[in-house]
Structure formats: structure tokens, C-alpha cells
Amino acid sequence: MEKSIIIVGAGIAGLSAGCYARMNGYKTTILEMHNIPGGLCTAWERKGYSWDISMHMLTGSCSGPFYRMWEELGVVQNREFYYRNEMARIESLDGKTLAFSTDRKKMEDQMLKLSPADAPLTREFISLIFGRDMMKAASLKPNELINFFDSLKTWPVILPLMGKFIKYGKQTFQNFADRFQDPFLKQAVRFFIDSPGWPMLKFPTVALAGFMKSAVIEAGVPLGGSQKVVFDIAELYKNLGGVIEYKCRVKDLIIEDNHAIGVKLDDGSERRADITIWAGDGHTLIFNILGGRYINNRIETIYREWIPVKPIIHVMLGVNLDLSKEPSRLIFELEEPITIAGEEHRWMNAIHHCFDPGSAPAGKSAVEVWYATDYDYWEKLSKDRAAYKNEKKRIAEFTIAQLDKRWPGFTSQVEVIDVPTPATYVRYTGNWKGSPDGWYITTDNMRDQAPLRTLPTLSNLYTIGQWTAPFTGTVIAALTGRQVMELLCKKDRKRFVTKK
């Protein structure tokens, strides 16, 4: 008889687990609190404009170890991807520009011209980001099943990088960027990876070494957007015989003698299964639902010391202007800064998706501006509806005025304004502190990447998704779903199958 599995959450991790579970003959039901699948991997649509969040860079879209997983999940077949020739362009008020070009020579020449005094460091930076990458050493296999021979296969990738491991050890990218003497270069290079404590080298996925190749040149943007990708995975899951129930919020686990035997829903009903897979927010499960009863030192350390990725307030704009000739990601210095949630922002991060014809009506552009912000501030403000609305309005007006300086006439052409905040993220996905991507990867947690798959002394419950390891993105979130199913097959003495 098929074993039954309940999966909580139809984000990319839950959908991935569901597909692999069906491929391997488990009876599955995904319970999702929202009325659509996708979680954070989604898009906003208003009046013909669509603002795609999530897959701005899909690692493994054309090659590498993750390509196989995306192929199994039907993501890469029959889909076009856009490959950037520029990751972002930085512009200062005094007219200096640096484009993070995917052309090695172009990027190096710009940096050398901007600051000849920084030539040695520029060359070091360029040779790192365009150099050998560690991605080839990554594996779809769970750590628990990796044997000596699997490790041996990674040595040809790792050995040539040993010198770099020794040189950079526990260095952060931010410390590295601070070594540039030229003030503009110092600032601009920091935007290359805008994440605190980012390790220079991280094994085995994305690191500074080879970043341009693995995270930009070979990481496409799916045309049609992230939401289309998840809708297609949800369709595959249903075609495999899986069941998804929407508007079902799980509020509790049913536990007997430290075995998870099912879940309780908001409406008071119960669903029982042999196995429960939690693909939703980690903090909600561990601390709110389980009241911190199933934790150990590692889990305590994670929740005490790791840093959740800062939430974002977006200003989404639909504008009757064709920005397709403009950089698709522009970071420019502001004449006057803006303070949001007590933090001053001197640079504006504007993105458009004109490369995707589905993102806006012909000749128009969907523009998105991000400000990383503080969660507690927005949570508190969202309780006072008038103040919340006014603050969003202030930020939107400021943003539009700055974009008007960069693109004169912008203000009069704005047709749609939408301002989702960290509180919006929580409302739609339940993610702790509105985090868009779980935990930051830092030099402190980079060695502790084994995904948190189970909780101590609680059997039949597995955890997957963006809270189970640092810096997951959609790739590792989906991978954790695949790996848990591979481990369950091993436990049930089944051969792990990855086809229909």
C-alpha cells in the first residue's frame, strides 16, 4: 500500500517534494494556506503590468548539476530564459559608472580606468569572479548518502581552488571590497553582493569564485516569470496524481508519543498521514506550533545567531515609457537620501523586466524599486492603517520623483503604483520577519550547511525549504524537497526514481 504524506506549503520546496513523492509512489496531499501555489516565488499583476519577484537569477537554468533537477521538475524544457550581459549598473552623482558586465575584459577595463591605483586588487577581483567556480562539485545527492567515491569526484574541482581557500579563509566579501582605495569603486563593488558577512568562498554552490559564471552567465531569468514556473510545477504535480488543497492553513501538528501523525487545520478539521513534511516557515513550526519542545543546541544557535535575510519594501510601478534600452538593474546615487524605518538610503535600486514581453503592455515598462528594511517597524506600522498607508505613499512619491530625475517625464507617465511591504510578505507567505530568502550565508554559518531535515526526538516529521539551510533561493529550496524524498525512499528500501 502507498504510504501517505502531508506536505504543508505549496512553495517551491513543497511542490518539489510533492513531485518526487509522486514519482516514487507515495500518496500525497499538499495543504496551502493561500489560494495559489508559489509562496515567495510569485508575481504581482495590475492592469497588464506584472512585477516578478524571485527568479531573477535561476542557477542551473542551462547547465551544471542543478539543471538535472529543473529538468525533472519540467522547468527548463519548452521555456525560454533571458541571459543578462550586464548584472547591474552603478551610477554615482558625480557621473561615474560601473557596469557589472558579463564580458570579462569590459568589466576589467572599466575598473582599471576608474582607479589605476587599484589595479592589483581589480585584477584579483576579476580573476575570482570570472575564474574557476565550485558549482561543478555540487551534487543533488543528500549529504547523508554521499560516499567516499562521490567525494573523490569533487577533488578535481576543489584541488585547484585550495590556494584560494587558504588565502581567503574566513574573509568576508565586504572586507575585501573595503580594500579598494577609490571611494566610488569601494562603494560600487560592494553592490556586487549586497549581503552582510558574505564569505569569499563557499562550498559547494555559489561563491565569489566563479560567481559571474554560475550566478549570472549561466543563471537565466525565465521568460513568463517565476509564477508561471511554479504554476507549471504545480500542474506537473497534479498530473502525477498529487492533490493540492488551497485555503488550508495548518495551525497545529498531531503528535502521539513523539510521532507526528497528522495536522490540524484552522477550521478545526484534522488530516492524518504516515509522514508530514513541513515546507512552510521554520520559526512558526519550531517555536509557535511546537513551543520549542523539539530543539537542540544547533537549532537554538541557528535561531539565536543566524541572520534572517532583510525584508524588502518594494515600490512597483507601471509606467507608460519604453525602458528596454536602459539597464535592467540600475543602482544610482540619490541627490537627497530617504530615511525608511530609521535607516538612510543614499542609493536607489531600480529594476525593469522589459526583456520579458509579458511583463508590461507593448511600449510600457514594469519597474520595481527595492529598499531593504526593518521588519519590526513595518509590523508595528501596519496596525495603524492610516499611518501605514501614508508612509507607503511618501516612499512611493519620493521614489517616483527620483526616477523622474533619472528619466525625465517619468512622473506623468506612471499608470500603476503598488507598494508591498514586509507585512505583505508575512500576510501572504507567513515567513518569519518577512524574510524573502531565509538566512544570510555568512562566514559564521557557512560551515554549517547540512539542511535541518528533522527535529530531535520527533519522528515522521521532515522539514524542507528556505529556513533549513543558509542562502537557499529557489534552487536549494527545491533541492531540499528532492533530497528528503530520496532519503525517505532509502529508508523505505525503494529505488529513488526521478521520472513520471
Question: Which residue, 31 or 416, has its beta carbon nearer to ligand FAD?
Answer: 31
Compute the distance between CA of residue 151 and CA of residue 431 in angstroms, rounded to an integer.
35
The C-alpha atoms of residue 194 and residue 359 are separated, in whole angstroms, by 25
Min dist CB 379 to ligand FAD, Å, is 17
Choice between 359 and 474, CB closer to ligand FAD: 474
Smaller CB separation from ligand FAD, 111 or 484:
484
Q: Taking the complex as a whole, how short is the minimal distance between the CB of residue 499 and ligand FAD, in angstroms?
A: 23
Q: Which strand (E) or helix (H) includes residue 404?
A: helix 385-406
CB nearer ligand FAD, residue 184 or residue 425? 425
| Residue closer to ligand FAD (CB basis): 75 or 209 | 75
- The amino acid that residue 211 corresponds to is F
C-beta of 111 vs 372, nearer to ligand FAD: 372
CA distance linking residue 25 with residue 398, whole number of Å = 54
Q: How far is the CB of 41 from ligand FAD (least distance, A)?
A: 4
Query: Residue 186 or 264: which CB sits closer to ligand FAD?
Result: 264
Helix 473-491 to helix 65-72 angle (10° resolution) is: 70
111 vs 221 by CB, closer to ligand FAD: 221
Interatomic CA distance for residues 488 and 276, integer angstroms = 12
Distance in Å, CB of 221 to ligand FAD, minimum:
8
**DSSP 3-state assignment of 499?**
coil
Asked if residues 28 and 243 have their Cβ atoms less than 8 Å apart, the reply is yes
CB of 33 to ligand FAD, least distance (A): 4
State the nearest-atom distance from the C-beta of 83 to ligand FAD, in Å.
Answer: 14
CA distance 227 to 373: 24
Cβ atoms within 10 Å, residue 183: 11
Is residue 284 within 8 Å of residue 13, measured between CB atoms?
Answer: no
Pairwise CA distance, residues 396 & 56, whole Å: 23
In 48-180 the beta strands, taken as DSSP E runs, fall at: 49-52, 58-59, 81-82, 86-91, 97-101
Cell numbers standing for residue 206: 555559489
Adjacent-strand bridge partners of 51: 44
Which chain residues interact with ligand FAD by CB under 6 A? Answer: 8-14, 31-34, 39-41, 53-58, 249-250, 279-281, 312, 429-431, 436-437, 465-466, 472-475, 477
Q: Which residue is nearest to ligand FAD (CB)?
A: 11
* Phi and psi torsions of 8, nearest 5°: -95, 110
Selection from 193, 218, 205 nearest residue 83 by Cα: 218
CB of 89 vs ligand FAD, minimal distance in Å:
18
Write down the least CB distance from residue 199 to ligand FAD, Å.
Answer: 18
Eight-class DSSP state of 158: H
9 in Cβ contact with 278 (< 8 Å): yes
Gap between the Cα atoms of 128 and 124, Å rounded: 6
The HSE-up count of residue 334 (CA atoms within 13 Å, CB side) is 18
DSSP character for 407? S
Our CB check for ligand FAD shows the closer of 61 and 101 to be 61
User: Considering beta carbons, is residue 318 or 436 the nearer one to ligand FAD?
Assistant: 436
What's the closest the beta carbon of residue 462 comes to ligand FAD, in angstroms?
13
CB of 38 to ligand FAD, least distance (A): 6
